[in-house]
Structure 1
């Protein structure tokens, strides 16, 4: 029976009702009394005779109907809905044009479109049936037959397109033919891809993948090719659509691939585990240096990366084995380096302490960089942020503790040991490229720098706390002199400037400011039982000002100015207190003269008063002969020398300030004599030049 011919037979439905079952345009229609009851696509209907009796079973859409009919009608219906691919005659009947001379083009196009739709449905149904019935081999046979049928279909479609182009209104027919052709080609491509996936050359023997040999380069190459192909096949299966996954062959293939993946992962994990344990035992026994195993394990890096994707648990177990084996090796190496450095610190001078510290940090940095590069590359740690950092703590559990202990040893050995460690670790921690990202070595060096910085801050805090003790110790000396913490600051600045000559000095400037401010505050609060407070302030502020000025640190500029002002004020106060008025009675006489002038007496008339007469002035001047003035200056010099200390170095400075003060008083008195007693021939016992010579002679004599 041709598919486009209509078929209609009488059947007996439920309850003995008379119904009609017929084929109309690719569909099976059940009607009763001229009214349609049900309609199913012909390709979705299964008709089969009832095992007992002459009834017909109709299965469609998940339901089963039992219909009674005559034997000839039952045979016609069974032939219409027979399963399987359409015959060549049926396909030809769909494509043949039985009425080439039909004048109604639109009706002709509609009819052709209906035929194409039925052809499409029958073609897909046939292909799917072929794919599910016989697995891969059956599918290959069907594929070959489908290729031949496809060629015939292409020729017939070309004829169909020619016929549709001949009709004036055949646009709809042409578009339908194109859709059918595209659908057929897509189906062929899908089947070709499916066949290639089912029969991959690298996966020809899935059951033998668990027996791979990784001992030779050739075996590793074959195993790696099989592993990559296996991963690709599984990923392709996971991406398959729901329609493909309904195929039994696809599901079975996926199960076999999963079993092969598990077997291969177990074999790879077993081999890598044995290799890691063996190399770890050799390194623990001292037969190999740290890092020598990297070259031996490098050929297995692709397999470790594959395990990370294929079996995460096995990959994690390998990481644990690696860490357990080499953590002991690295701990022993780091401890040996630290012991060597401690011995060199104890035997060498303090100023050479940076060399053993730098050597240990260089060895640790090289080992950390090598391990990080290997682990990231071998275990594919670059695919997960944070995993590499955690691994560093497991591989080097005692590194930071050993380095911190080494810094503590340097701190105990030398007062500036923590500063030296900070400079060395800081240069190495900050010397890398920022583009390198997070490096294990940089983190370890930063931890060392933090430990050293804490030690240096602690040393500075101890210096600050010891300043009051320095004041109490100075009180037991005859002279206060320069307090001990100021020379210590000078020494520290000299040493630390050399230590941090090539590194950051932010911490150093902060220490300077803290110690300098503390020193100035302590000096201002200090007292001494035998040294005048002005001398204590003068000497210590002068020394502190010199120390801060030599550093040339912008942050210390306010401290420098304050120390300078405190020194100048203390010097002025001391000169005023100690020098006083060496010509006391003469100064008192001229104070009275000044008061009379202020009261309205003319300067040239003051001499006519009895208390300020020329005779009285001569009497007062006679009290201060030149030798007596020199003796008074000698007594003053000895007093100043008794107060000032040698380390202060200010004796000549103070003596010069007193000289200037004496000359200023001498000039003022001489000017008053000239104004109030003109032409009297009166003068002070010493001239200005005599005073300068006297001060110079006294300084040379002492």
Structure 2
């Protein structure tokens, strides 16, 4: 073990200036084949660092695998207090479980580890547990000042802390000494005597040297005493200098303090001067502006220009941003009061001038283009042109005097509102006269366009030309309104600054709650909503009668043409989408809602008329009124289907067709002569044809349902009225089929007496070709009596009956072949005869 320790010291630790204190040959618990060396190592330079290292041997070389500082050690677990154990645990960053190669190495390693922890770790020492108490006893000091060490400490001299490997120089000196005394190895006592003699000689020489230097020492002491005296003199002189400089220092400190106060005062004065200059500059209003504000001339361009300049200067001065502390100054408050007087006087001058102008322009006749029919709304661009030069003064009023601004807005809307009311009434009066004069030309027949009425009663006294005239007049009136309203809205927004909630030099906005807020803080949508509302309110005051007059204008059109709700809805929708004026767009939208409700009422009336329809009491029912009227009704609704509002009508078309599908079945049982299957068949077929012509995708499911119901009704009619024309023959074969079903073989049925070949021939002889043709002709007359001409289904039904007869014929032929094979029995007529019978009867009628 000593050899291994020496090797580790020389090869691993000495090159790094480290010293090996203890080592233990260990293996991991349960993996003892993988062995290594645990070493306790100390640095040789200050500060001393103790490290626990794991050294691994590979191919007779030693390599550091991992190391831990002693301070990282948390717990040392010896696993047992017995001295003969081999296992121990070290709790560092995790628990490391080791098994020593022998008990002595384990003991020395743990004792050394405990000693180093006691020496180098003052706080938070690791816990040593399950270790013999004798191993954890620290050295104590005896009264004789001798250290008493635990006996176990002497087990191995390698544990001494004082062990220190010699340096290369010390090794050379020792070699030289050993060379001079060649007998040192063979005669140690002689070598020791030589060393003792040399040491004695050295001690004697040292004593002689000390005695020889006594006089020099005395001389040195005298010189030191002289130096001390000189230092005392210098110190006294420095004290006197310090006393003198003390007064100078006090004077300098006072001067420095005074200079500092003067500098501060100077800075304060400069700052005060700067603030005063800024206040004077912000609150200064030149004399020329004061004179203009006292007596403003707003009747000419030069006076207006000067007034605007003076007003802006006053606004900037009044809105100047000053420190709140400066606002308490008497001079500032006095200047503010003076500004208020100028503002009030200037505001009154502006209000007086604009009031007079608004009232004067309220009587403007306007400019209008020439028109042969008189449907022209006068423009008032000249009024706007005259007023626009006062827009900056209006903006000033809005910022500086909100009450006066609101008053001017009211005067403007009252004056110009009367002007627009007059013009709009004149426009609509002329339009109504055109509508009424056109309607008087028409035949005075009461309009009755309900789908549920009989076609003879279903009349519309409005011609296509009249409807075109109504629509053209409506379009002309709506087109006249758009430029006038847009022109007025643009002027109001610009003149009254409606697109800014509350402009000021402070860049603030008045919110909906009346609280001023920074423009960047107020949500954009909220601001836009309030601006639009403000614009609509003002335009609503100017054109207060527009909606009422427009409804009044549409009313006579509704009276004359029940279908007007469709094309009026289309026209209004186009103008709602194209109107650039938000007010006019909203007004048109309101009328649009009215017309939409009118359409809904009209369509609901149609649905009710279908449900309340009465079946005509004639010999043949034919096509029901609401189905027959649908084609004409759809022609009038085509204008709405080709517009952006087609969804409004499509929704009602679905209800109409669904109601018709239900009512056809309900009304089919009300006619006393026509079979229900015929009524269903003809009306479902007619309805299916109409829906196919309309080509409306939303009605695809209704169209398919109508076709299915038509096919079902046709099949039911053929089954019921065609029946079995060869009745006795069918009854005979019914008996045959029953015998086969009871277990009799088909080929043996002919041996039954009732179903013999003779009996079959008797039945067949009752149906010669001439009798069959006569029966078919009688059936044709019955079908012709049931079906109507407008239904146009006679050929379809006749062909279906022909197919049914052929089907029954083939069935009978198959039964004869199965039950009477080889009998050569056949019917007296063929399929070709049947086809000829049906064809001849159809041609003859």
Which of 291, 295, 303 is the equivalent residue of 1:219? Answer: 303
Matched, 1:265 2:409: no
Aligned to 1:369: 486
Is 1:204 the counterpart of 2:348? The answer is no
Give the counterpart of 1:570 among 713, 730, 737: 713
Q: Does 1:342 align with 2:432?
A: yes
Higher helix share: 1
Aligned length: 534
Q: Which moved more, 1:482-491 or 1:577-586?
A: 482-491
Task: Classify 1:488/1:368 alpha carbon distance in 2 versus 1 (closer, same or farther; 3 Å).
Answer: farther
Shift of 1:673: 1.7
In structure 2, the residue matched to 1:490 is 631
Residue 673 (structure 2) pairs with residue 556 (structure 1)? no
Whether the aligned pair in 2 keeps the contact of 1:307 and 1:315 (CA below 8 Å) is: yes
Q: Is 1:499 aligned to 2:640, yes or no? A: yes
User: Secondary structure of 2:725's match?
Assistant: coil
- Determine whether 1:445 maps to 2:588: yes
User: Structure 1 residue 112 and structure 2 residue 202: aligned?
Assistant: no
Query: Is the deviation greater in 671-680 or in 288-297?
Result: 288-297
- Does the residue aligned with 1:646 lie in a helix, a strand or coil? coil
1:475 aligns with one of 603, 606, 616: 616
Q: Find the partner of 2:395 among 279, 292, 305.
A: 305
CA contact (8 A) 1:582 1:632 kept: yes
Change over 3 Å in CA distance of 1:548–1:242 after alignment to 2? same
1:200-599 → structure 2 map (5 Å cutoff): 200-201=285-286, 204-236=288-320, 239-283=321-365, 289-292=378-381, 293-346=383-436, 347=438, 348-384=465-501, 385=530, 386-431=533-578, 439-470=582-613, 472=614, 474-526=615-667, 527-599=670-742
In 2, Cα distance between the equivalents of 1:344 and 1:402?
15
Choose which of 194, 202, 216 in structure 1 pairs with 2:279: 194
Q: Distance between the aligned counterparts of 2:713 and 2:249, measured in 1?
A: 123
Q: Which stretch of the first structure deviates more once superposed, 577-586 or 519-528? A: 519-528
Cα displacement string for residues 144-188 of structure 1 (whole angstroms, at most 9, x for unaligned residues): xxxxxxxxxxxxxxxxxxxxxxxxxxxxxxxxxxxx3xx454333
Compared with structure 1, are the counterparts of its residues 103 and 598 closer, same or farther at alpha carbon in structure 2 (3 Å cutoff)? farther
Q: CA deviation at 1:109?
A: 7.1
Alpha-carbon displacement from aligned partner over 1:326-358 (angstroms, at most 9, x marks no partner): 222222332333334334444252245322222
Contact 1:541–1:567 (Cα < 8 Å) also in 2: yes
Cα distance change of structure 1 residues 416 and 310 upon mapping to structure 2, 3 Å threshold? same
> What's the offset of the Cα at 1:619?
2.0
Q: TM-score, normalised by structure 2?
A: 0.60
Taking the TM superposition and a 5 Å limit, the aligned residue runs for 1:7-18 are none
Structure 1 residues 118 and 230 mapped into 2: Cα distance closer, same or farther (>3 Å)?
Answer: same
Q: TM-score, normalised by structure 1?
A: 0.71
In structure 1, which of residues 643, 648, 655 is the aligned counterpart of residue 791 of structure 2? 648
Over the residues paired in the alignment, what is the CA RMSD in angstroms? 2.7
Q: Distance in 2 between matches of 1:328 and 1:511?
A: 42
Question: Is the Cα–Cα contact under 8 Å of residues 630 and 694 in structure 1 kept in the other structure?
Answer: yes
Asked if structure 1 preserves the Cα contact closer than 8 Å seen for 2:432 and 2:556, the reply is yes
Q: Distance in 2 between matches of 1:548 and 1:593?
A: 49
* Change beyond 3 A, Cα 1:494–1:382: same
1:515 CA displacement:
0.9
1:627-642 equivalent positions in 2, closer than 5 A: 627-642=770-785
Secondary structure in 2 aligned to 1:383?
Answer: coil
1:243-266 Cα shifts (integer Å, max 9, x gaps) = 423433322221121111111111
Q: Which residue of 2 aligns with 1:604?
A: 747
Q: Give deviations 1:28-51, integer Å, cap 9, x for gaps.
A: xxxxxxxxxxxxxxxxxxxxxxxx
Equivalent position SS for 1:219: helix
Match runs of 1:51-62 below 5 Å: none
CA contact (8 A) 1:210 1:266 kept: no
Residues in 2 aligned to 1:442 and 1:315: alpha-carbon distance in whole angstroms: 27
Superposition deviation, residue 605 in structure 1: 2.4
The answer to whether the 8 Å contact 1:534/1:571 transfers is yes
Give CA-to-partner distance per residue, 1:258-280, whole Å, 9 cap, x none.
Answer: 11111111111111111111111
Note closer, same or farther for the CA distance 1:532–1:228 as it changes in structure 2 (3 Å cut): same
Q: 1:652 to 1:448 in 2, by over 3 A?
A: same
Q: How does 1:114-129 map to 2 (within 5 A)?
A: 115-117=259-261, 120-121=264-265
SS in 2 for 1:645: coil
Q: How many angstroms apart in 1 are the aligned matches of 2:736 and 2:746?
A: 8
The separation in 1 between residues aligned to 2:246 and 2:659, in whole angstroms, is 116
Distance change in 2, residues 1:363/1:699 (3 Å): same
SS in 1 for 2:363: helix
SS in structure 2 of the partner of residue 621 of structure 1: helix
Residues 538 and 570 in structure 1, CA contact (< 8 A), matched pair in contact too: yes
Instruction: Say yes or no: does 1:661 pair with 2:804.
Output: yes
What is the CA–CA distance in structure 2 between the aligned matches of 1:105 and 1:511, rounded to whole Å? 109
How far apart are residue 393 of structure 1 and its match?
Answer: 2.1
- 1:230/1:257 contact within 8 Å kept: yes
* Native 8 Å contact 2:367 2:380 kept in 1: no
Question: In the TM superposition, what is the alpha-carbon distance from 1:119 to its structure 2 partner?
Answer: 5.4
Structure 2 CA distance for partners of 1:547 and 1:278, relative to 1, 3 Å: same
Q: Which residue of 2 aligns with 1:81?
A: none
SS of the aligned residue for 1:283 comes to coil
Quick one: distance in 1 between partners of 2:557 and 2:416? 29
Q: Secondary structure at the match of 2:414?
A: helix
